[in-house]
């Protein structure tokens, strides 16, 4: 028997089927967690915000437009939840020493790849919050400039400047030491 | 004149108004092409960042509880209702044949018909109503008891048990599927 579609699960969840909503959580918890982690860079906080994202999604499920895809929508909710969380904190999130899952011993290339991933994570973590969020929305959620501006309620020119500066800072952190 | 970093960013983001014009320039300007290539590497590195796995503790905490007491699937519920109806119908249809069969092997045995049993029950019910209407507490000896032979009881119990077992077997088969 084929797995139920997201739309089926959403409709069942709206009727109060907790198991259907649970299935949606299982499907999207990893991607939502990664959105939170890329913005917050602290595992426990990212886990809390992942939970908060799904709670908020459950509350908004009645008004969710069935024509939209659930995955991009919930990831966008996650980005907003994290942004609100950071704004409420008004202090930079501490950097987590987290390493990618499954690391231990392996081929040299894998170790190098993990090290590079960690460098990119650290570079992303060092960006100001608003830069991090536009990078998240542009590169990981593939939103257009207009969509980002609408999502963050900022002018289009700010989206462009945040994005360009964020990339410049990343390039300096990731490539400058080699030069 | 070279392209600005902003223009190159917009080009890679597919947000430029006239990509064809930029491509013409990039085809002839090695400096701009090199800068574009460097930006592409950055974009690629950002986007190829592997996803982290969630911790087992978080997964366990967050995993929705799949209740073992969740309601049965609709198909199973319908099957159960149909089975129950079939069992009742089966008993009603089989009872006269069973009684006739038992009577043929034990001619001396007196087995009441359904009508007799119904009339007996009605009599008992009326007696109960009479007893209750007097508001007196009857002694045990005054309570009328339906006399059903032990053989009928045994056959009925065996029949219902068999149907019950067959029904459960069908239910389990459905669940395995």
Question: What's the rounded mean pLDDT across residues B92-107?
Answer: 77
- Look at B63 and A154; give whichever has higher pLDDT: A154
Minimal C-alpha gap between B134 and chain A (Å): 53
Q: Within an 8 Å CB–CB cutoff, is residue A135 touching chain B?
A: yes
Give the closest of B42, B50, B55 to A170, CB-based.
B42
| Confidence category of residue B42, pLDDT binned at 50, 70, 90 | very high
Whether the predicted pLDDT of B114 surpasses 90: no
- Average pLDDT over chain A reads 84
Question: What's the rounded mean pLDDT across residues A143-166?
Answer: 93
> What pLDDT was estimated at residue A103?
44
Q: Within an 8 Å CB–CB cutoff, is residue A170 touching chain B?
A: yes
> What pLDDT was estimated at residue A179?
47
| Confidence category of residue B35, pLDDT binned at 50, 70, 90 | very high
Give the closest of B42, B52, B62 to A167, CB-based.
B42
State which residue of chain B sits closest to A169, comparing Cα positions: B42
Across A16-20, A134-138, B115-119, least confident range: B115-119
Give the closest of A29, A38, A144 to B15, CB-based.
A144
Question: What's the rounded mean pLDDT across residues B29-42?
Answer: 92
Q: Which of A17, A23, A8, A4 is nearest to B71 (CA)?
A: A17
Determine whether the interchain pair A174/B45 forms a contact, defined as Cβ–Cβ distance below 8 Å: yes
- Look at B74 and B30; give whichever has higher pLDDT: B30
Question: What's the rounded mean pLDDT across residues A162-169?
Answer: 94
A vs B, Cβ pairs < 8 A, gives 85
Q: Within an 8 Å CB–CB cutoff, is residue A111 touching chain B?
A: no
For an interface test with A, which of B7, B15, B46 has the most A Cβ atoms less than 10 Å from its Cβ? B46
| Confidence category of residue B145, pLDDT binned at 50, 70, 90 | low
Question: What's the rounded mean pLDDT across residues A11-19?
Answer: 87
Whether the predicted pLDDT of A48 surpasses 60: yes
Whether the predicted pLDDT of A55 surpasses 50: yes
Complex ipTM value: 0.76
| Confidence category of residue A165, pLDDT binned at 50, 70, 90 | very high
> What pLDDT was estimated at residue A154?
92
State which residue of chain A sits closest to B53, comparing Cα positions: A101
> What pLDDT was estimated at residue A170?
93
> What pLDDT was estimated at residue A149?
93
Whether the predicted pLDDT of B67 surpasses 60: no
CA dihedral A24→A27→A33→A34, nearest 10 degrees, is -140
């Amino acid at each position: 028997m084929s797995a139920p579609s997201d739309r089926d699960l959403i409709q069942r969840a709206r009727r109060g089927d907790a198991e259907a909503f649970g299935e949606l959580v299982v499907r999207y918890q990893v991607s939502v967690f990664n959105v939170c982690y890329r913005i917050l860079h602290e595992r426990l906080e990212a886990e809390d915000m992942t939970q908060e994202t799904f709670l908020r999604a459950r509350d908004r499920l009645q008004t969710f437009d069935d024509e939209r895809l659930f995955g991009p929508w919930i990831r966008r909710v996650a980005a907003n939840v994290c942004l609100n969380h950071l704004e409420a904190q008004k202090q930079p999130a501490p950097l987590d020493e987290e390493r990618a899952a499954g690391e231990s011993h392996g081929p040299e290339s894998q170790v190098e790849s993990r090290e590079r991933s960690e460098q990119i994570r650290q570079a992303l973590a060092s960006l100001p919050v608003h830069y991090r969020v536009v990078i998240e929305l542009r590169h990981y959620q593939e939103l257009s400039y207009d969509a980002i501006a609408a999502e963050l309620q900022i002018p289009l020119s700010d989206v462009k400047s945040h994005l360009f500066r964020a990339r410049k800072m990343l390039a300096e952190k990731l490539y400058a030491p080699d030069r | 004149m070279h392209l600005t970093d902003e223009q190159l960013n917009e080009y890679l983001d597919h947000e430029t108004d006239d990509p064809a014009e930029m491509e013409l320039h990039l085809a002839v300007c090695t400096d701009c092409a090199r800068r574009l290539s460097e930006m592409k590497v950055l974009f690629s590195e950002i986007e190829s960042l592997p996803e982290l796995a969630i911790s087992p503790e978080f997964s366990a905490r967050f995993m929705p509880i799949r209740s073992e007491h969740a309601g049965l699937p609709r198909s199973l519920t319908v099957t159960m209702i149909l089975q129950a109806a079939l069992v009742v119908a089966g008993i009603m249809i089989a009872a006269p044949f069973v009684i006739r069969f038992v009577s043929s092997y034990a001619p001396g045995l007196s087995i009441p018909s359904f009508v007799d049993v119904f009339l007996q029950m009605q009599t008992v019910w009326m007696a109960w109503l009479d007893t209750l209407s007097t508001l007196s507490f009857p002694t045990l000896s005054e309570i009328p008891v339906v006399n059903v032979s032990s053989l009928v009881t045994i056959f009925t119990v065996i029949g219902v048990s068999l149907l019950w077992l067959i029904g459960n077997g069908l239910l389990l088969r459905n669940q395995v599927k």
